[in-house]
Amino acid sequence: MRLSRAFLLLTAALGALALGGCATAPLGPTVAVMPAPGMPFEQFQAIDATCRQFAQQQSAQYQAGATNSGLTSAAIATGLGAAAGALIGGNSQGAGVGAGIGLLAGSAGGAGTYGDTQYSAQRAYNIAYQQCMYSHGAQVPGYAAPRYAPPPPPPAGYAPQPAPAPSYAPPPAYPPAYPAAQ
């Protein structure tokens, strides 16, 4: 069975896209950050959520680079493999074999480049996360713990506002579902 050159190139391109589409964003920090002494845990959790979002934004450019590096390596190697296969084999079958070998080699090279770029994305995420957490008063390994200053007490004579009345009617009183004791 004879396969056309267009079919082989389309197959190679789809393979490169499938392999390059495996890039994932950092799932979270890989560094330990602790609340400062005296910091309420609820406040620490709120800061953590804010800093995770900030770190994700800061590492987005590295993540795009990881995806692009895998796709580019696979596509270039596929093209070079097809050209080399056509020159060596002298026919479309040689081009197809060359494209397949080029796709495999390019994907392997792209995976290595992707791994390096993914490491850079995780590193950028961790740095941005640590900077954000430290600036909000959390303890970051390798740095002196910031002093957490709790908010000042309310002024003298301050009375908190009473809670508003519920905007719904209270539930009706039901008679007990069991008979009265005799």
**C-alpha–C-alpha distance, residues 166 and 123, integer Å:** 50
Site of tokens 């309310």: 154
The 10s digit of each residue's pLDDT in 10-27 is 565 555 555 544 556 677
The 10s digit of each residue's pLDDT in 148-173 is 677 888 888 888 888 887 777 766 67
The stretches of 21-153 forming alpha helices (DSSP H) are 41-58, 60-89, 92-135
Predicted confidence at residue 96, as pLDDT, reads 63
**C-alpha–C-alpha distance, residues 51 and 43, integer Å:** 12
The whole-number average pLDDT for the span 101-105 is: 62
pTM of the prediction? 0.50
Q: Among 148, 126, 128, 152, which residue's Cα sits nearest to residue 137?
A: 148
Residue 98 tokens, joined: 């060359």
Q: Among 117, 128, 118, 116, which residue's Cα sits nearest to residue 31?
A: 128
Share of the chain above pLDDT 70, in %: 47
Strand partners, 139: 34
Which carries the bigger pLDDT value, residue 108 or residue 118? 118
Residue 55 tokens, joined: 């770190």
Q: Is 161 helix (H, G, I), strand (E, B) or coil?
A: coil
Amino acid at 123: R
